[in-house]
Chain A
Amino acid sequence: MIPASYFFLLSVVLFVLGIIAFFLKRDLITQLMAVEIMLNAANLAFLALAKSSNFLDAQVIVFFIITVAAAEAAIGLAIVMLIFRQKKSIKTEDMRSMKG
């Protein structure tokens, strides 16, 4: 049987990789993908907890996280489309109209 800490370590590595991707990438679509990676790392940690503590509610929470992630992706990509129509660019360097 695989120890639960292996799954936690994998979840930690994925979460940190998501943060690195969010900071390094310079376009809005890939940054949204980085957010999805972080949500998946949280899902993995929840399921490892569900397995090790025999607590079925964690799986229901993962179900809700996946649903919210779907809604977030739909709205986020719609906003990206709007920004692209207005500015003809999705690079974060070009979003400086609110900079003081």
Chain B
Amino acid sequence: MMILLFFVLSVICVGSVLGMIISKNQAYSALFLVLAFSCLGGLFGMLGAPFMAVVQIIIYAGAIMVLFIFVIMMINLRKGISPERKKWTLAVSAVISVVLLAELVFAVLGTPPMPYTAAFSSGTSPTDIGRLLFTKYLYPFEITSVLIIAALVGAIVLVKKREKE
């Protein structure tokens, strides 16, 4: 049952990423990506990380992709991007990606299989993550909040139209 769910979710995920690559319209690409990230959220839930699944769906499929769609609407390219790519970039990227895929698959299959530890089978509660986040990782957490503030202020300052003086 779980294995069936895994295959369904992963096929939808890979298929929607392929659709994002194929589609010419950027808004459709963004919507395909929302579907892919939602499926990844389901996979995170299957990996015993319910908090990360919810964060994935709310932050990624919700907030970040809505930001992308807002920018696509503001830029508003009516004609779309014409595919005037050079021939050799397709060949070079195909070769590079096939080599990388072979290398990574070889690395994954070469490692000995890790058995699941028995204590972990019930999944982790968000309480454990919160406790870890506010004790062991307190300083990175606070630095992350500074990073978010810096990104927010930076984005506002970059996009703001300057007044003519």
Chain A residues with CB under 8 Å of chain B are: 1-10, 12-21, 23-27, 29-30, 32-33, 36-37, 40, 43-44, 47-48, 50-54, 56-57, 59-60, 62-64, 66-75, 77-82, 84, 90-91, 93
- Complex Cα distance, B21 from A51, in Å, reads 30
The reply to whether B148 and A4 contact each other, CB–CB distance below 8 Å, is: no
| Nearest CB in chain B: distance from A91 CB, A | 6
Q: Which residues of A contact B152 (CB under 8 A)?
A: 74
Other-chain contact of B113, A4, A74, A79 (Cβ < 8 Å): A4
The A/B interface has a contact count, at CB < 8 Å, of: 206
Chain B residues with CB under 8 Å of chain A are: 2-3, 6, 10, 13-14, 17-18, 20-21, 26, 29-30, 33, 36-37, 40, 43-44, 46-49, 51-52, 55-56, 59-60, 63-64, 67-68, 71-72, 74-75, 77, 81, 83-85, 89-90, 92-94, 96-97, 100-101, 104-105, 108-109, 111, 113-117, 119-121, 124, 128-129, 132-133, 136-137, 140, 144, 147-148, 150-152, 154-155, 158-159
The reply to whether B10 and A60 contact each other, CB–CB distance below 8 Å, is: no
- Complex Cα distance, B137 from A59, in Å, reads 12
Q: Which residues of B contact A29 (CB under 8 A)?
A: 26, 68, 71-72, 75
The reply to whether A74 and B89 contact each other, CB–CB distance below 8 Å, is: no
Q: Which residues of A contact B63 (CB under 8 A)?
A: 70
- Complex Cα distance, B132 from A77, in Å, reads 32
Q: A77-B67, A78-B159 are in contact. Are A56 and B96 (CB under 8 A)?
A: no
The reply to whether A14 and B14 contact each other, CB–CB distance below 8 Å, is: yes
- Complex Cα distance, B37 from A43, in Å, reads 11
- Complex Cα distance, B63 from A15, in Å, reads 22
Q: A29-B68, A40-B37, A66-B59 are in contact. Are A2 and B6 (CB under 8 A)?
A: yes
Q: Which residues of A contact B47 (CB under 8 A)?
A: 7, 47-48, 50-51
Q: Which residues of B contact A36 (CB under 8 A)?
A: 33, 60, 64
Q: A12-B101, A24-B21, A40-B60 are in contact. Are A77 and B52 (CB under 8 A)?
A: no
Q: Which residues of B contact A48 (CB under 8 A)?
A: 47
The reply to whether A33 and B10 contact each other, CB–CB distance below 8 Å, is: no
The reply to whether A5 and B108 contact each other, CB–CB distance below 8 Å, is: yes
Other-chain contact of B148, A10, A21, A71, A93 (Cβ < 8 Å): A71
The reply to whether A75 and B155 contact each other, CB–CB distance below 8 Å, is: yes
Closest to B45 in A: A47
| Nearest CB in chain A: distance from B73 CB, A | 11
